[in-house]
Amino acid sequence: MTTLAGNLDYVATMLLFVIGVWTLVSDPNLIKKVMGLNIMETAVFAFIVTSGALEPPSPIPHALVLTGIVVAVSTTAVALALLLRVHREFGTLDLDELRDLW
């Protein structure tokens, strides 16, 4: 099953991943960057869960994804805490303004 149409679900998750990377890299707002990271993470989880539906169906991807979700939530929490600090110190969360301030 190596056709594009046959692997459409995997392609969709990787498209989502690219959208996440684009958001992370191009948007100057730091919170948007954290959102981009979250989109990337969700895309990878979708990819892994989709792979669990192969023959024979395997429960291991589900465990991997659950762990990944916990890690993603913790990372987002740390990221937002750091952003609170950045906002307190610099007054802005825009990368263009931060470049001038730092």
Partner 1 sequence: MAHWIPALVALPIFGGVVAPALPRRLAHLWALVVLVATTGIALALSLDAPASYAMGGWPAPYGIELHFDRLSSFSVVVALVTTLAVAYTLHSSGPLASREGLAVILLGTGGMTGFLVAGDFFTLFVFLEILSLAAYGMVAMSEERGAGLAAFRYLLMGASASIVILLSVGVVHTLTGSLNLVDVQQRLPDAGLPLHLAMAGFTAGFLVKAAAFPLHVWLPDAHATAPSAVSALLSGLIVKMGIVGLIRTPGVDDLLLWLGGASLLAGALLALVQTDAKRILAYSTVANIGLILVGLSVERTGAMVHMVNHAVAKAALFLAAGAFTHQAGSRVLDGVGRRMPLTTLAFALATISVIGVPPTGGFTGKWIIAVGALEAGQPVVVGVLLLSSILLALCYARILQALLFAPARSDVDEAPLSMLLPIALLALLSVGLGLVGAPLTAFLGRP
Which residues contribute to the site for partner 1 (CB under 8 A)? 17, 21, 24, 30, 33, 37, 40-41, 44, 47-48, 51, 54, 58, 60-61, 63-64, 67-68, 71, 74-75, 78-79, 82-83, 85-86, 88-90, 98, 102
Q: Closest CB to partner 1 among 11 and 78?
A: 78
Least distance from partner 1 to the Cβ atom of residue 41, Å: 5
Least distance from partner 1 to the Cβ atom of residue 5, Å: 18
3-state secondary structure labels for all residues of 20-80: HHHHHHHCCEHHHHHHHHHHHHHHHHHHHHHHCCCCCCCCHHHHHHHHHHHHHHHHHHHHH
Q: Closest CB to partner 1 among 19 and 51?
A: 51
48-72 core/surface letters (b: 16 or more CB in 10 A; e: else)? bbebeeeeeeeeebeebbeebeeeb
Q: Closest CB to partner 1 among 3 and 102?
A: 102
Q: Which sign does the torsion angle of CA 83, 84, 86, 87 carry?
A: positive
Least distance from partner 1 to the Cβ atom of residue 37, Å: 6
